[in-house]
A and B are shown apart, each in its own frame.
Chain A
Amino acid sequence: MKPATVKESPTSSITRKIAALTVVFLISALAVDAAVSRGFNHLLDAVVRIDVREESFETGARRFTAGIGSGVIVSADGLILTNAHVASPRAVELSVTLASLERVNATLVGWDHWTDLALLRIDLAEVKRRGLAFTYAQFADSEDLFPGQTVYAVGTPHGLTRTVTRGIISNNRRYFADNRGVKGYETGLFNTWLQTDAAINPGNSGGPLVNEKGHVVGINSRGYLGADNLAFAIPANIAKRVVAGLSANGSITRSYIGIVPGALLDLEGFYSLKQNTGLLINSVDPGSPAARAGLRGGDIVLSINGTPADGRFPEQLPPILNIIASLPVGSTVKLVVKRGEQTLTPVIVTEKLESRQGEEWAFEKWGLTVRKVSRAYARENQLDDDTGLLVIGVQPGFPAAVAGLGRGDIITKINQERVISLDVAKTQHAAFVAKPAPTLVEAETDRRVSLYILKP
């Protein structure tokens, strides 16, 4: 399910920005063939630069990194749409540079890594106090896009504020899913992407892709590293739904049944399917609702709640998965499934979709940073359950490193207490801080259990 080539989220970093200053200046001899409309100018006033300072837990301590991205204001009350990989819950400081070059603070309303979208709200009180002004962009219907249509990308590539690049829609239904594409979180499972050859560089992330009228058709998200102008944007129609969801609830809740689809391609001959449709189940997550209902790899889903499923090609998979994901949690899904000559009609109750990426935390006195083991992570790594904290960093010379803990270890017990939640460890750490004493840690690596002592 992973794309063949490595992709990188084009968030700009400070270092990249410096490197970009050694740009070779080129004089463009291109004729301006697209009339720049009034709408386009309006759009330009709605595009912002976003400066982010965020936490990182990779090194055994809580550290801060800085990044730059783009965004577009989408409402009169100052909601800004950007990428989830630009503004995530790890952000501790978000500031927005308006078209007037004035800088204002913003807060995170919510994020949705599955579609790589995040919503910020500009500090309206500050805007009012300082007498600043902004406009907001209009969405176009991204279903109307056609390959070859001219589009423009607006954003802050390599920190170069207010850069407009031009290209065409190269493909309007590109499929790729990436299991750790947004800061280690999954993305792209439930939507297809717009592909464009408009130049997208690190820092363009979160900026709008617009048509000639200046209406937003997509949110620029990522590109192939080392390729020439193969960039991807989230379609506006998906973005509109996510904006509505995030502004209402601060998050998007999806339903999960636990099937991993594969494209049927021309397997219908093998499965002797009468009609040329169906969704091939490649894998069923152990312990998931689908697994409990007895589904397994190799089954073909013919219909979902009475709607025929047509999953012959990879591009067709996200919309089908989205049917299930869009149901309220706890909904009943009626499937018609073909297994060899048999036809099954399992009824499955959905659960809440969760990420494989658990919450991260730093235990400063131990010099230890961890990530909670999630159900999905446990499943992927064939752990018994989601007990434990995955070590993602240790600081040399601190108790955890001295005891011999290292990246990849999974801490399962602290002072004989099972680490069923991050809070268990937080309490133990607080006790250690209050009254430093040797602390017994049980950790597992590759199914080997070792004991360690954290000494004050």
Chain B
Amino acid sequence: MMNPFRLSRRACCWLLPIILIASAGLRADLPGLFKERVKSVVAVEFFTESELDRRPTVVFALVADNAGTLVLPPQAINNYTQPSKLKDFRVYLPGRAVSEYSTGEYLGQDPLSNWHFVRVEEKLRASLVPVTAFAAKPASKEPALGEDFWGIGLRGKDEDFAPYLMASRISLVQSLPERTAIALAEVASPGLPVFDNEGAFAGVAVGGFGQTFIQYSRNDRGLPVMLLNMEESSVFQLAADITPWLTRVPANVSGRPISWLGAYGLQPMDPEVASFLKLGDQSGCVVSEVLEGSPAEAAGLKNRDIILALDGRALPRFKPDRVVVAYLDRELALRKPGDVVSLTVLRGTERVEIKATLAEQPRLLREADRTYFEKLGFTAREFVYGDGIVRRVKLAGHKGVVAQFVKNSGPAGTAGLRPDDWILEIDGTEVKTYAKAMQKLAAIEADTTRSEFVLLTSRGGETAVLRVKLK
């Protein structure tokens, strides 16, 4: 996945010289268009349950179809949050009293778009209009420089999520890797739609793009800061690229099937490097590591191979370079487990063709089982494939459990256990599996006569014996 913040630092270079120019030329019947199109947006509130508390989140969502499917932007939910911890979805109509909310159900995350899907209860569906109902006919052309666009913003919960209008014009269109328009000023709240002058659906605003400012204060002289507008965005992905995503409702809450190649740490190839390697203006991705037991390994991909083409098509060149990584990720995500991909890679000075059969992604962090032991003061989580990557542990060494959460000043916390510590042994016995660990920890938790127990943990490759005092 591409880090939006890293990307946005580049984006800000474009955005910096922008001056707010009042958009002229909007249609006279805009209020009518606006009123209709507000029906394709809602506010969604939900609660993330943790060991000790319940945190509310409010995001804005797009109506994807007539079946009450709502699309939430990727950053709405943390990657490692278990779907079962997401509770109490509430859907609010813009401008309607917040007491009149409807309930929703979480459907999962799409591995291609990273959008989250929620389905709202039946009774509200009649009040909603899918954004695709406003699709341009025939399909819209790429927006012209300077063309006017407008979009919808929603106020806060205390203002009943009242909808408001934003408008601007296009200053640049880039491939990131989706065709993405950058407007002169904010055009919509992140996750909400943008429309053209005729009212045709033109795209969805994306967050995460910042602008660099220099902050002067009494103490700091010219400290560069990056500001991110969390409520409004001037960047939107064009409808042509993302409309197909609106139909990608996950079949189940896990978001599976999720295809997997197992080429880890893809890094863009610098144009200077390409010319040094006599590749001309060819684009490419360096494979940092080929993961153990992965389709990439089985197909013979090697560490440090440079991927130049996918299924015979050369990887396109993007600006900034790093977008090529997101492009490759997207291309792989479009394919299904079982699909065969052919990769053309540069190995040393030799071109090698590799055919890999994509597999199902190993169990993800958000799918890992976990249990909170209140008396012991920590949550033990199943060790998953990703834990092995982070800790550089070979498959054969995958064992034990991970401390997912440690209660402050609780028994385990006082003994020195920290979140992410890897628990290898409990009371001197190696815990091979999650089930075995659960059995041991549950027995300790249930034993009221117990005064202490001992953990062997590992952090940063160094183990430590921790003595947890229960009394």
Contact call B465/A452, Cβ cutoff below 8 A? no
By a CB distance below 8 angstroms, the chain B residues around A141 are: none
Contact call B273/A452, Cβ cutoff below 8 A? yes
| Interface set, chain B 388-422, CB cutoff 8 A to A | 391-392
- Partner of A451 from B269, B303, B461, B462 at Cβ < 8 Å: B269
Contact call A297/B391, Cβ cutoff below 8 A? no
Contact call A449/B276, Cβ cutoff below 8 A? no
Give, as a whole number of angstroms, the nearest-CB distance from B468 to chain A. 11
A260 to B424, CA, bound (A): 17
Give, as a whole number of angstroms, the nearest-CB distance from A406 to chain B. 13
Contact call B463/A284, Cβ cutoff below 8 A? yes
| Interface set, chain A 219-276, CB cutoff 8 A to B | 260, 262, 265, 267, 270-271
By a CB distance below 8 angstroms, the chain A residues around B224 are: none
- Partner of A282 from B265, B427, B464 at Cβ < 8 Å: B464
- Partner of B267 from A262, A267, A340, A450 at Cβ < 8 Å: A450
On whether A449 and B391 interact (CB within 8 A), knowing A440-B273, A440-B276, the answer reads no
0 or 1 for each of B197-238: is its CB under 8 Å from A? (1 = yes): 000000000000000000000000000000000000000000
Contact call B452/A270, Cβ cutoff below 8 A? yes
Contact call B463/A282, Cβ cutoff below 8 A? yes
Contact call B454/A270, Cβ cutoff below 8 A? yes
Most chain B CB within 10 A, of A265, A267, A297, A451, is at A451
Contact call A267/B454, Cβ cutoff below 8 A? yes
Answer whether residue B348 sits at the interface, using C-beta atoms and an 8 A cutoff: yes
Q: Nearest CB to that of B284 among chain A residues?
A: A451
- Partner of A442 from B304, B424, B427, B463 at Cβ < 8 Å: B304
By a CB distance below 8 angstroms, the chain A residues around B465 are: 262, 267, 280, 282, 297-298
0 or 1 for each of B259-288: is its CB under 8 Å from A? (1 = yes): 000001101011011001100000000111
By a CB distance below 8 angstroms, the chain B residues around A364 are: none
Give, as a whole number of angstroms, the nearest-CB distance from B224 to chain A. 15
Count of A interface residues, CB-CB < 8 Å: 34
| Interface set, chain A 315-360, CB cutoff 8 A to B | 340
A455 to B304, CA, bound (A): 22
Q: Nearest CB to that of A438 among chain B residues?
A: B276
Taking chain B's interface residues, is the majority helix, strand, or loop, or is none over half, making it mixed?
Answer: mixed
Answer whether residue A379 sits at the interface, using C-beta atoms and an 8 A cutoff: yes
By a CB distance below 8 angstroms, the chain B residues around A271 are: 428
By a CB distance below 8 angstroms, the chain B residues around A438 are: 272, 276
Give, as a whole number of angstroms, the nearest-CB distance from B232 to chain A. 32
By a CB distance below 8 angstroms, the chain B residues around A286 are: 461
Contact call A379/B467, Cβ cutoff below 8 A? no
Answer whether residue A59 sits at the interface, using C-beta atoms and an 8 A cutoff: no
On whether A449 and B286 interact (CB within 8 A), knowing A340-B428, A440-B273, A455-B272, the answer reads yes
By a CB distance below 8 angstroms, the chain A residues around B348 are: 416
Contact call A449/B265, Cβ cutoff below 8 A? yes
By a CB distance below 8 angstroms, the chain A residues around B463 are: 282-284, 296-298
Contact call B267/A449, Cβ cutoff below 8 A? yes
| Interface set, chain B 452-471, CB cutoff 8 A to A | 452, 454, 456, 458, 460-465, 467
On whether A447 and B464 interact (CB within 8 A), knowing A267-B454, A298-B428, A453-B270, the answer reads no
- Partner of B288 from A280, A440, A444 at Cβ < 8 Å: A444
By a CB distance below 8 angstroms, the chain A residues around B464 are: 262, 282-283, 297
Contact call A448/B267, Cβ cutoff below 8 A? yes
Answer whether residue A147 sits at the interface, using C-beta atoms and an 8 A cutoff: no
Most chain B CB within 10 A, of A267, A298, A444, is at A298
Give, as a whole number of angstroms, the nearest-CB distance from B424 to chain A. 8
Answer whether residue B425 sits at the interface, using C-beta atoms and an 8 A cutoff: yes
Q: Nearest CB to that of B463 among chain A residues?
A: A297
A403 to B276, CA, bound (A): 13
Answer whether residue B329 sits at the interface, using C-beta atoms and an 8 A cutoff: no
Give, as a whole number of angstroms, the nearest-CB distance from A154 to chain B. 40
Apart from the given pairs A448-B288, A451-B270, 16 other A-B contacts in the complex at a CB distance below 8 Å: A262-B464, A380-B462, A382-B461, A440-B276, A440-B277, A442-B304, A447-B265, A447-B289, A448-B265, A448-B267, A449-B265, A449-B287, A449-B288, A449-B289, A449-B303, A453-B272
- Between A and B, 17 residue pairs with Cβ closer than 8 Å are A270-B427, A270-B428, A270-B467, A282-B462, A297-B424, A298-B428, A379-B461, A380-B461, A403-B270, A438-B272, A440-B277, A444-B288, A449-B286, A450-B286, A451-B269, A451-B270, A453-B273
